[in-house]
Amino acid sequence: MSHADLTPPYGGRLTGRQPAGTERAAALERAARLPRLRLSERSLCDAVCLGSGAYSPLAGFMGRADYAAVLDDMRLTSGLIWPIPITLPVTVDEWASLRGTDAVALEAPGGSLLGILDVDDVFETQPQREAEIVYRTTDPAHPGVAAVLSAPPLALAGPMTLLDVPDFGFPDEYRTPAQTRAVFQDLGWKTVVGFQTRNPVHRAHEYLQKVALETVDGLLLHPLVGLTKDDDIPADVRMTCYRTLLAKYYPPRRVVLSIFPAAMRYAGPREAVLHAIARKNYGCSHFIVGRDHAGVGSYYGTFDAQRMFDDIEDELGISILRFDNASWCNVCESMVTDKTCPHGAGDRVTLSGTKVREMLRSGRRPPPEFSRPEVADILIAAMARKGETASAG
């Protein structure tokens, strides 16, 4: 089986650049002579996604023409659909210190070398307009809007070279798109469904994944581990949940657990499109979009993200699996959605996120129809540790 059996990358090829051998050594020598720019956590995530090929066909941070085209038409200047600007904000002082250079060495937030950006443009962004178009709101209480409005007013653009990749704390689960494609090839998969998550997998998620697995060769469980909101469950806790769940409840050669090193933007429908494009680059032929995908608060309608694909799915070249809310029905004695069950809400096991957090904080497991007990125990222990730390502080 060849890579050609898998769905092609978005735009036809992976554009990430990670040199090896003598080419990498020469790039490291070059980086040592360049002025350095320290990235924020968000820009670090974007740089890794660009350099690894996850954001193909982008080869680097967007210039002004692509930025304008994405805001005006949700497309790149090449004509390809692209939903969200991927820019590198810099302060006026930072740009003043870099002025005159045609390249900069990019540093991770901790100061380690990440890569090189060959600068071919610097321009002023339009934060208010970007927020209104991408997030459908300019409310600074929205975390994605807050990030856009608080970012520096200038953006550097140009192709980038990734020299050192942080594994985000999960060396066994970090893979580039080229590497996931190689894994799928070794497993003999041709059709792969991707599942995006920034939460522990509960029974409804498990149901959706397994329904999808009935129709494809394999599942890429692809949790986002980059920058998230402070009140989201930490990535290390979530990864423990995923490993535990997969070891006991999933067939081992039908699922690959790999991390997605992106930052969450909470941009709802537009971010759902970005997530689908990235998973196509990782080798997925199908992508699950459930309720309120990439949403936050009440900024987006429950199924706005699914409707976003109605006119663009064929052009994107990835099959979108649209799922309704799933839950356990006590009458059917199985996981159901409104599409498969005639019974009302009173017959179903549904819990709000607030209620689940209350139960976990008090050391009580949610019903097994809602969450696997092993997952609940991991979350209970994590919340207990968090409470002890807060008390000690």
- Which residues are marked as active site? 198-199
CA dist 227 and 41 (Å) reads 6
3-state secondary structure of 338: coil
- E-strand ranges in 210-313 read 218-223, 255-257, 286-289
CB 22 within 8 A of CB 30: no
Neighbours of 242 (CB within 10 A): 21
**Which residue's structure tokens are 């929205």?**
142
- What would you measure as the largest C-alpha separation in the chain, in angstroms? 71
Q: Which residues of 219-235 are buried (b: 16+ CB within 10 A; e: fewer)?
A: bbbbbbbbbbeeeebeb
3-state secondary structure of 193: strand
CB 143 within 8 A of CB 268: no
User: Which residue type, as a one-letter code, is found at position 85?
Assistant: P
- What's the token pair of residue 257? 């657990």
The candidate with the shortest Cα–Cα distance to 344, out of 331, 325, 356, is: 331
CA dist 127 and 204 (Å) reads 37
* R_g of the chain, CA atoms, integer Å: 21
Count of helix runs (H) and strand runs (E) in the chain: 14, 15
Cis-peptide into 57, omega within 30 deg: yes
Beta strand 334-336 with 327-329 is antiparallel
CA distances in angstroms from 63 to 43, 109, 121, 200, 215, listed in the order given:
15, 23, 6, 36, 40
CB 59 within 8 A of CB 160: yes
CB 170 within 8 A of CB 144: no
